[in-house]
Chain A
């Protein structure tokens, strides 16, 4: 048995946390992800199976829903499913078993890295980072946007609390962009 040390997307043994003034940017490594793309003509079937998996109605355009397994809308008839890694390490297989041939499911766990942004003036930071109208985003909203030329997902967990998913291979660049924006704004 190999004895390998697990590292986070930024290369540390512990998730990185940066605080500037009242805003915190925290690396969140413990997430399992799988993407779901409904197959042509089977959109309704895929939606129904996904709703059963997450326990609530399949999220509409620009929304996310579900707990502990949740899904957010990524495009027409496409969603990303997220769940805690510790309890759902084999998430892609679980999603595939639930949805069957109605959709194509792809393992995404190590393709993305997540940063959670919290704090009173988090909107000012996000405004500098991405073209989204973040002040109009409500709890449960999810959107894709370019941050620092990287295709990222921005999820509004609650007012003042956001999650940003970016490509894991560019975690360092994304982290640099976020912390730079925090330092410039706050």
Chain B
């Protein structure tokens, strides 16, 4: 599988490490009233879609950037790759 890195161009997936669902970016507020429940959902509950899936990949054998890769789990077709920091900042995080 080839991952088109937004800065470095096409790179082999063996250079990357897979972390998991891109929703891991959305860490809940630990001070909120429902923090225990929110963290249970955050840590344990995942969708397992047959189709498009947004996931976090780490370019360990390259520039060490975190990426959000939109991949079809049935065909391995990659439709979108973004820097995770851009995704997080667009959501108002990591300021």
Contacts and interface: CB of A to CB of B under 8 A. Distances in A.
Real binding pair: yes
B51 interface: no
DSSP class of A's interface residues: helix, strand, loop or mixed? strand
A131 B83 contact: no
B83 A76 contact: yes
B8 A131 contact: no
B62 A145 contact: yes
B65 A145 contact: no
A151 to B, nearest CB: 7
Contact of B60 (A74, A143, A151): A151
Nearest to B95: A40
A56 interface: no
B63 A131 contact: no
Interface string A55-66: 000000110000
B15 A75 contact: no
Size category, B interface = 10 to 19
Interface in A58-86: 61-62, 74-76
Contacts of A131: 11-12, 14-15, 61
B45 to A, nearest CB: 31
A144 interface: yes
Given A61-B7, A131-B15, A76 B60 contact: no
B71 interface: no
A40 B8 CA distance: 22
Interface in B59-78: 60-65
Given A131-B12, A144-B64, A146-B15, 4 more contacts: A74-B63, A143-B62, A146-B60, A146-B61
Interface of B: 7-8, 11-12, 14-15, 60-65, 83, 85, 94-95
